[in-house]
Structure 1
Amino acid sequence: MKKIILLMLFISIVSCKAQIIPMNNDHVETPDGAHLKDTENFLNKFVGTWKYQNGNEQFIIILKKENDHFYKTYYKDILYGEYKYISSSGNTLINTLDKIDFAYPSKSYHNISGASLISNNLYVKCNDCNPGEFRVKSFFDDSDRKGLIGTGVIFRYINPTTIKVLIIGSKGKVLESETDNLPDQLRVPSAEYTMTKQ
């Protein structure tokens, strides 16, 4: 009886371990119930408060990490966050920082969410990245401009106090008729921002 219990325990441990897939595998198939894990703690490098400043222009991002975020059929470690952008004229165009600890039903409701590790030759290409260097691509939303498509953000780790943040602007709106009166671009300009840890 002890041998049967030990065998069942061993099989369950092996099958659980077989479902853990390191995130740094490009184009990996994700079976139902799998866990895409940040096994090298790469995402941890981006956690914190980051700031870009150029004269009056400011861009502040707060990023946190959630382990085992549930997508429809699998789990994945992700980043989530909120941001604030002040234009060069000193006007605050958007500020969602107070929502960072809001109890949404899912972390994917945050204005920044997700984490796909991308290599230097994937969109958007990184010409000055090192061979084998990974960046993190996430969703980037503007809470008052729903319906934009193609928006996103790419985080690149430089060192413990510096990251580069590339904002990808909109390619249009999902349903033109329902969003005719709304602008078709994010309030944060599409650009690369060098940010320092606060």
Structure 2
Amino acid sequence: MHFKDLDNNLSDFVGTWKWQSNDSIITIEFQKWEDVFFDDTNQYEDMLVGAYKFTVNGNVIQDNLSQLNDNSFYIYDRYLVGNTILHKGQYPKCEDCADDQRQVFVYFTDPEREYLNSAMVLRHTVDNGVEKNECCVLLF
């Protein structure tokens, strides 16, 4: 069995994201991995895989960007991973999303706070010809 990203929904999020507020900076890098095989379900899936770096006042608090290209990790041992495509009416609801706009749900793990169950919902928009990516962090 194969779950293929036929509409390239995951591709909109590939690349480097950066958020800054005062002296805090978060840099996230996403890659699209195709044909990831899962032994437990005997299937292939296309996945969005990411890593991040967090700095405050120039001091590195967390940096796992180098892990992104390290193939020795199992896919779910990575800090950002997912491929669930969400539609407008699904949780979390996106009131200002277009009916055909897709969002992507990815799991987010903080290696120093593994007790936190969290995820991110990624949204891609085009505003006056400018592509923008938005992120909503969910804590369970």
TM-score tier by shorter-chain length is: 0.7 to 0.9
Q: CA deviation at 1:91?
A: 4.5
Are 1:164 and 2:134 matched, yes or no? yes
What is the one-letter code of the residue matched to 1:162?
A: K
Q: Classify the secondary structure of the residue corresponding to 1:100.
A: helix
Aligned to 1:70: 37
The count of aligned residue pairs is: 135
Q: CA deviation at 1:138?
A: 0.7
Q: Out of 37, 49, 71, which is 1:80 matched to?
A: 49
Asked whether the 8 Å contact 2:9–2:85 carries over to 1, the reply is no
> What secondary structure, in the 3-state scheme, does the structure 2 residue paired with 1:108 have?
helix
Indicate the structure with greater helix content.
1
Given the alignment, which residue of 23, 33, 37 partners 1:56?
23
Q: Which of 62, 70, 81 is equivalent to 1:113?
A: 81
Q: Which AA in structure 2 matches 1:168?
A: L
Percent identity, please: 28
Contiguous gaps of at least 5 residues in structure 1: 1-33, 172-198
CA-based RMSD of the aligned residues comes to 1.8
Aligned counterpart, 1:27: none
**C-alpha separation between the residues in 2 aligned to 1:158 and 1:132?**
11
5+ residue gaps in structure 2?
none
Quick check: which has more Rg, 1 or 2? 1
| TM-score, normalising length: structure 1 | 0.62
Q: Which has the higher strand share?
A: 2
**What amino acid does structure 1 have at the position aligned with 2:93?**
K
1:99 counterpart residue number: 67
Normalising to structure 2: TM-score of the pair? 0.85
